[in-house]
Amino acid sequence: MSPTSQIKDQFGRVHDYLRISLTERCNLRCFYCMPVEGIELSEKSHLMSHEEVIAIAKTFVEMGVKKIRLTGGEPLIKKNIEKIITELTQLPINLGITTNGILLDNYVELFKASGVKDVNISLDTLDKRKFEEITRRDYFDRVVNNINLYEANGFNVKINNVIIKGVNDNEITDFIEFTKDKNVAIRFIEFMPFDGNKWNNEKVITFNEILSVAEEKYGSENIIKLKSKKNGTAKNFQIKGYKGSFGVISTVSNPFCDSCNRIRLTANGRIKNCLFSSSETNLLTPLRNGEDIKPIIIDGIYHKKQVRGGMTSDKDFFDPEKNANNRTMIAIGG
CATH of the domain at 290: 3.20.20.70
In a domain, 8, yes or no: no
* pLDDT value at 320 more than 70: no
In a domain, 2, yes or no: no
In a domain, 5, yes or no: no
In a domain, 10, yes or no: no
In a domain, 309, yes or no: yes
Return the minimum-mean-pLDDT range out of 33-37, 100-104, 123-127: 33-37
Band of the pLDDT at 38, cuts 50, 70, 90? low
Count of domains forming the chain: 1
CA atoms within a 13 Å half-sphere pointing along the CA-CB vector of 197: 28
**What residue numbers bound the domain in which 206 lies?**
17-332
Decide if 15 contacts 8 (C-beta within 8 A).
Answer: yes
- Greatest mean pLDDT range, 195-209, 217-231, 299-313: 217-231
In a domain, 152, yes or no: yes
In a domain, 122, yes or no: yes
Q: What pLDDT shows up at residue 3?
A: 45
Nearest to 104 by CA among 124, 132, 123: 123
Q: What average pLDDT does this structure show over 255-262?
A: 88
In a domain, 11, yes or no: no
Question: Distance between CA atoms of 308 and 256, rounded to whole angstroms?
Answer: 9
pTM here?
A: 0.91
- Pairing of the two strands 94-99 and 281-282: unpaired
Q: What average pLDDT does this structure show over 111-135?
A: 96
Band of the pLDDT at 193, cuts 50, 70, 90? low
